[in-house]
Chains A and B, each alone.
Chain A
């Protein structure tokens, strides 16, 4: 009887077969993923413009859903659907365990990811382009995106990490960080190698507008005024959306317009008395005329079953400012600069100057509202402030500014009642995964 141990030839043959199989299998086990690029591939010169576009585009597409959440937290919108986590936001409820995958967490994560995208793009440009990076429009694009994500996060969230995986900072610090980046970018944009003059001008205006807003939020009013006034009339910097893909869809249209879902609407409990139930616009409280800047829609006869929100109960007014997935959302625009000018002038006691700045917006084609006039009685300053806030509501409707306005003017309780969150809290995803944060490290949002 012979065993395998006594058969060296068989053992050798077996080992050889295994070796051959192993070597042969090595290539066989290599597969390609044809639907994504590797990290190294993204360093290729022909892909760098796409990397820059990804940085800015990711920021742009992320604003819609974040603005939906801050809108619901404020008096701008309320929830008309059946999602408990959205209802929490709409009620301003703070739970100790803010939902992990809750309504706001995803949009906030998206914006944080957009900032991470911008940061990694900038690092890639610095690595690939080396010394020429900072005069490259590519690097300026990613840095601009980083600054805007900082700005939008600061407008929406009370605490976030200052950069990828970093420690928490307050919204005030983040405003300052955004302001510093914008300020740094302005001379670099002027020195950069832009092929078209208008491209350089657009970037300059975007940086100045961002800097003006950031300075306003941190109380650097003179600087805010200076930069706001440098932005030309007619300027817009839009978050661009498209029907092309779900990634590019305007999420605000998706949930707030009757063409799609009906999960949020204008907060009727606050604005009902100003809703024109015939033409479905908001009534300008000063002139009592329809304000075309807040266009709504309503299925009066419930012909398509759209009279109520998707909860089947709450009366639904469609947010017609965004009728389609491709509707752009203004990140900033010259009308906002006029409002910054108005606010700074009001803060400096120049009420007439404030009214004049606001009236530029009211006189625009398509708006054509009577000019605001100086109050003749009562607390004039407070009335001007309310005009500014009302104008900001109308001009910046659905653009993600309202919550920050109520917060910074300490009006949350007055407008919405006590016990509400004043800003969105840190996303629980970031809290639990960022090694510098962790459970219990967050200290806000405060309750009004």
Chain B
């Protein structure tokens, strides 16, 4: 069995390669013209439905000739040397097919393909972290591939996080609340660090991208104050236009991501944007979306209308008064095409989503230009350029005195007045609605890649690119509002900016040659570097003289703040993949990194790896029901660099007295500080059954971090305010993952495909280097033997009956905080059936999480505020306190509430209808579809909370274990019309 680019098809001698190089540089042009070539054309279609398949890669085996099918399934390959050849067609989700044919000089030959759907993805070619393009069949490490355009057909998404929901086992992508534009929790294989960012590193077309999803205004201090809108930061990944994405590759852990070195222990996600199709007339694709956002009405204020305030005001139920329909609209246009040597893809997008709790909306615009130019059959260039404008009118939510729904839900309806109809806890809803909190981001992400194949066996790739982000945030409290609880008197205005840039330089050389005994060998070498800076600034104006003014300078007190970070990394890599026949493949490699964040006494860090894949399919002894089988194993390492300046000993400039400059100890520093190094072993198999109608991918893995950075607290009496980062901790993740794809029915008029993904994960701290009192970034204790971010709390032990001094009795709790559970689910399951009947496609995504706990701060807080339905129903006539209500308040003053996050969630239901061609043609459209979809529709849980997935600090916040005052993500209902012509 052969694949498209296996080493068996290549010449045997390295010497011949050298000779070919000389020839290529001297006489190649003349030879090329002298060659007799022909053209291969054809159509690729879905074997089950007969529908044309766009985006199918068609190539001539043994050459670099090839291209992709256009929207009508057509392809054309020019310059094919006359004679016998084999043409191969492959597409995600289909079994690849190869056909022999004979090309006549100066003529064309037609080859059509009818691809059969496949539940097995072994033929996919991936490029991320592999040292060049390679079939998954040859890989020993797990890589997930998501066909974004296919998902968009049934589930129109507003961001990348939505695309990834439930698509790859081990990848967690979920909303955590905070209104439209709020960040998502995106992570791979749980937690791999005590304090460092848990997000995987993200590349867009080979360029490292900004993934910040946490609020940054709080970093500024110096009167920039607290989180701008409660902690849920904007998610920079949501800047991108999901319609621009072709596919996404996911490296799940250290074993797969070794070649990314000191940034990859959380995994790597690479986003590939669309390219134009060669030899194709301009093909337009338009889509228009509309719909609405609507919050679930489960806030704890349903009993409020039963109560009356001191001025006779009937209290309001916020479920009926603050929840509104938030309209949504989106428009996307793209055109692609190309000539024989160049292709283009151009797109533009505009969308506006208004939240269900208002004010809150997000307006996005994107434009993209991707160009490919094949200067010759050896040299090609790819240029990707995307610009995004992302404007968010943020919801005041989360851990924040100015939280909109939090003030209503924590209000005491017995104190309702005309001005404060919810008996608002701290700030009136009317005043909160007058706060403006905006984020306005401009972003350019671009790259240029040159591919130069010196010979067919020696290729070079150089990528240069940048991701440049400029964010402007503003928050304004009007002068005539009452915002004392938020420490604002007579109004306040903050202008803050974040200028982030990261430049990537990446070179990869690949030499393919033969070793003795027919062993194929692909040697890859190269280097990678990035240069990253982030500058945060803020101007703050406090106390306006009167209403009607809103600039910083117009305030009576003005302040400024600035924070700067800078990190540089350079690394070299080398790896060799060996092919022993067409079944057994093994790769050994190493990456060596230097990073400016390493301590000056640390030096460089090496990350070795080895993996192996053995394909057992087509052995006679294998049961016929097994159509393909690969067993694989990988052992690899990857790292995570410390914070940019964590190794520096620092003395912080502050102001004292009446603004006199002063210095105080700040960071103790650590000259020997190095990256965290994760070592992962991963074994598993990829199997296809019943002619690949059933596909199963399974992995078991264990990841150990033996030098995790522990934020060691020094005794406060020593004077330093920061912790000292030391590589002394230990972490262990043990888990498994399984993906099952089942083509239950596949007929021309009806098909039923089922996708099940599940994973289990156990995280444990194995060492803190003998330190106690270690806390994470949120101040939660980290203890050996427990997961990072473990939920600890005081449990009730005894109750003493009421006395004169304690009329509600006295509760006693455990002496020390006891363990409740981990912060992340130990088990995740997603099930997504897709049913097609004629022109209708019905898609559902259902997920389940089990095992996670959190400190449900809202529940006791409402009792402490003497509010919330669960408290109010304990009251007596006329809202009088009772023994039960007093006892409940007493109890919840003594203890916190700890709840499981277990839930089953209906994430998506969609119905796509493909308009019959005759109707579409009537209006001169091509393939046209209408998609009705609903997301985040319903969830079932046993949590005393509004949404067990909520976290006030947005992304990464599962280390925080708090959903405090956070609004759940809204339900979204969409109708999308797409057409191509």
CB contacts (< 8 Å) of A96 on chain B: these are 815-816
Give the shortest distance, in Å, between A160 (CB) and chain B (any CB): 7
- Distance, CA A161 to CA B719, complexed state (A): 13
Contact with A along B412-429 (1 / 0, CB 8 A): 100101001001111110
CB contacts (< 8 Å) of A312 on chain B: these are 410-412, 415, 423, 425, 865-867
Residue B623 CB within 8 A of the other chain: no
| Closest residue on chain B to residue A253 by CB atoms | B487
On chain B, the residues within 8 Å of A35 by CB distance are 562-564, 653
Q: Please state if A25 and B594 are interface contacts (CB–CB under 8 Å).
A: yes
* CB of A289, distance to nearest CB on chain B (Å): 30
Give the CA-CA distance A166 to B716 in the complex, in Å: 11
Binary interface encoding of chain A residues 152-164 relative to chain B, with 1 for a CB under 8 A from any of its CBs, else 0? 0000000011011
Residue A261 CB within 8 A of the other chain = yes
Interface size range on A against B = 35 or more
Using Cβ atoms and an 8 Å threshold, which residues of chain B touch A53? 656-657, 660-663
Query: Chain B residues near A417 (CB, 8 Å)?
Result: 805
Q: How far is the CB of B147 from chain A (nearest CB, A)?
A: 37
Q: Are B779 and A100 in contact (CB under 8 A)?
A: yes
* A361 beta carbon closer than 8 Å to chain B: no
Name which residue of chain B comes closest to A262, CB basis: B485
Q: B717 contacts A115, CB within 8 Å?
A: yes
**In the complex, which residues 1-58 of chain A have their Cβ closer than 8 Å to any Cβ of chain B?**
1-4, 14, 18, 21-22, 25-26, 28-39, 41-42, 47, 50-51, 53-58
Contacting residue for B663 out of A2, A50, A304, CB 8 A = A50
Instruction: State whether B559 touches A97 (Cβ < 8 A).
Output: no
Cα distance A352–B796 when bound, in Å? Answer: 55
Q: Which of B542, B664, B717, B867 contacts A163 (CB 8 A)?
A: B717
Residue of B nearest to A81 (CB): B864
Tell me the smallest distance from the CB of B309 to a CB of chain A, in Å.
10
Docked Cα-Cα span, A102 to B604, in Å, equals 40
- Which residues on the B side are within 8 Å of A29 (C-beta)? 568-570, 594-596, 598
List CB contacts (< 8 Å) of A94-112 with chain B: 95-97, 100-101, 108-110, 112
Q: Which residues of B contact A82 (CB under 8 A)?
A: 861, 864-865
List chain B residues, Cβ under 8 A from A28: 529, 568, 570
Against A, the Cβ 8 Å flags (1 = close, 0 = not) of B886-900 are 000000011010000
Whether A117 lies near B719 (C-beta < 8 A) is yes
In the complex, A411 has a CB within 8 A of chain B: no
B661 touches A246 (CB 8 A): no
Q: How far is the CB of B533 from chain A (nearest CB, A)?
A: 9
Contact of B484 among A116, A247, A262 (CB under 8 A): A262
Interface residues on chain B, number (Cβ under 8 Å)? 102
CB distance from A268 to the nearest CB of B (A): 17
Q: Which of chain A's residues 293-315 have a Cβ closer than 8 Å to chain B?
A: 302, 304-306, 310-313
Q: In the bound complex, how far is the Cα of B15 from the Cα of A240, in angstroms?
A: 80
Which one of A213-221, A338-346, A381-389, A428-436 is at the interface? A428-436
**Chain B residues near A33 (CB-CB < 8 A):** 564, 644-645, 648, 650
Say yes or no for A260: interface residue by CB 8 A criterion. yes
- Interface membership of chain B positions 796-826, coded 1 if the CB is closer than 8 angstroms to chain A and 0 otherwise: 0000000001000000000111000000000
Taken together as a complex, chains A and B put the C-alpha atoms of A218 and B568 apart, in Å, by 57
Rounded to whole angstroms, the CA-CA distance of A247 and B529 in the bound complex is 38
A36 touches B652 (CB 8 A): yes
Give the contacting residue for B487; candidates A37, A115, A248, A260; CB below 8 A: A260
B650 close to A260 (CB less than 8 A):
no
Q: For B865, what are the chain A residues with a Cβ–Cβ distance below 8 Å?
A: 82, 311-313
Shortest C-beta distance, B630 to chain A (Å), equals: 28
Tell me if A228 counts as interface (CB < 8 A to partner B): no
| Bound Cα distance from A33 to B653, whole angstroms | 12
> Closest Cβ of chain A: how far from B917's Cβ, in Å?
57
A1 close to B659 (CB less than 8 A): no
Instruction: Tell me the smallest distance from the CB of B966 to a CB of chain A, in Å.
Output: 17
Question: Given that A54-B662, A87-B893, A100-B773 are contacting pairs, would A112 and B716 also be in contact in the complex, using a CB cutoff of 8 Å?
Answer: yes
Given contacts A38-B648, A304-B482, contact A242 B779 (CB under 8 A): no
Question: B residues within 8 A CB of A42?
Answer: 651, 663
- Distance in angstroms from B601 CB to nearest chain A CB is 13
From A97, A163, A242, B655 is in contact (CB under 8 Å) with A242
Q: With A21-B570, A244-B655, A417-B805 in contact, do A97 and B817 touch (Cβ < 8 Å)?
A: yes
A165 in the interface (beta carbon within 8 A)? yes
A84 at the interface (CB under 8 A from B): yes
B298 within 8 A of A: no
Q: Within the complex, what minimum Cβ distance (angstroms) separates B428 from chain A?
A: 7
Q: Is A259 engaged at the interface, CB distance under 8 Å to the other chain? A: yes
- The interface residues of chain A lying within 8 Å CB-to-CB of B645 are 33, 36
Judge whether A242 and B667 touch: CB under 8 Å: no
Interface pair B665/A116, CB less than 8 Å apart: yes
Q: Give the complex CA separation of A114 and B721 in angstroms.
A: 10
Q: Closest Cβ of chain A: how far from B262's Cβ, in Å?
A: 12
A401 vs B232: C-alpha distance when bound (angstroms): 41
Contacts of B482 in A (CB 8 A): 304-306
A30 to B567, CA, bound (A): 9
Q: How far is B424's CA from A246's CA once the two chains are assembled, in angstroms? A: 27
Residues of B within 8 A of A439 (CB): 772
Residue of A nearest to B893 (CB): A87
Judge whether A32 and B656 touch: CB under 8 Å.
no
Residues on the A chain within 8 Å of B662, using CB: 50-51, 53-54, 57-58
- In the complex the two chains form, what is the Cα distance from A54 to B652 in whole Å? 9
Between B417, B487, B594, B861, the greatest number of chain A beta carbons within 10 A of the residue's beta carbon is seen for B487
Q: Report A-chain residues with C-beta under 8 Å of the C-beta of B713.
A: 429, 432-433
Give complex CA distance A161, B660 in Å.
30
In the assembled complex, A291 has its CB within 8 A of some CB on chain B: no
On chain A, the residues within 8 Å of B794 by CB distance are 95
> Taking the nearest CB of chain A, how far is it from the CB of B721, in angstroms?
6
Inter-chain contact B570/A259, CB cutoff 8 Å:
no
B699-742 contacts to A (CB < 8 Å) = 712-721
Contact A31 B653 (CB under 8 A): no
Confirm or deny: A243 has a beta carbon within 8 angstroms of a beta carbon on chain B. Answer: yes
Scan residues 239-259 of chain A and give those whose CB is less than 8 A from a CB of chain B. Answer: 240, 242-248, 254, 258-259
| A113 within 8 A of partner (CB) | yes
Question: Which residues of A lie under 8 Å from residue B744 when comparing CB positions?
Answer: none
Q: Report the minimal beta-carbon distance from A40 to chain B, rounded to whole angstroms.
A: 9
Chain B residues numbered 596-632 whose CB sits less than 8 Å from any CB in chain A: 596, 598, 604
Across the interface, A4 reaches (CB within 8 A) one of B15, B523, B566, B661, namely B523
CB < 8 Å: which of B651, B720, B817 contacts A37?
B651
User: A31-B566, A58-B664, A119-B719 given as contacts; is B775 within 8 A of A100 (CB)?
Assistant: yes
Central interface residue in B598, B712, B714, by most chain A CB within 10 Å? B714
CA distance A306 to B426 in the complex (A): 8
CB of A47 to closest CB in B, whole Å: 6
Measured between beta carbons, the chain A residues less than 8 angstroms from B775 are 100-101
B948 within 8 A of A: no
**What residues on A are CB-neighbors of B557 within 8 Å?**
243
Complex contact A57–B864 (CB within 8 A):
no
Cβ–Cβ contact A254 & B487, under 8 A: yes
> Shortest distance in angstroms between B361's beta carbon and chain A's nearest beta carbon?
28
> Which residue of the partner chain, among A38, A87, A243, contacts B651 with CB atoms under 8 Å?
A38
* Further pairs besides A242-B657, A313-B865: 6, Cβ < 8 Å: A25-B594, A113-B717, A120-B665, A161-B715, A305-B428, A439-B772
Could you jot down 17 A-B contacts, CB within 8 Å?
A: A1-B13, A2-B14, A26-B594, A28-B568, A29-B598, A32-B566, A33-B645, A37-B663, A112-B715, A113-B720, A116-B716, A117-B664, A165-B718, A243-B542, A244-B655, A245-B222, A259-B489
Residues of A within 8 A of B (CB): 1-4, 14, 18, 21-22, 25-26, 28-39, 41-42, 47, 50-51, 53-58, 60-61, 82, 84, 87, 95-97, 100-101, 108-110, 112-117, 119-120, 160-161, 163-166, 240, 242-248, 254, 258-262, 302, 304-306, 310-313, 417, 427-430, 432-434, 439
10 closest A-B pairs by CB: A57-B656, A116-B719, A432-B773, A36-B650, A54-B662, A53-B662, A109-B716, A112-B716, A434-B715, A304-B482
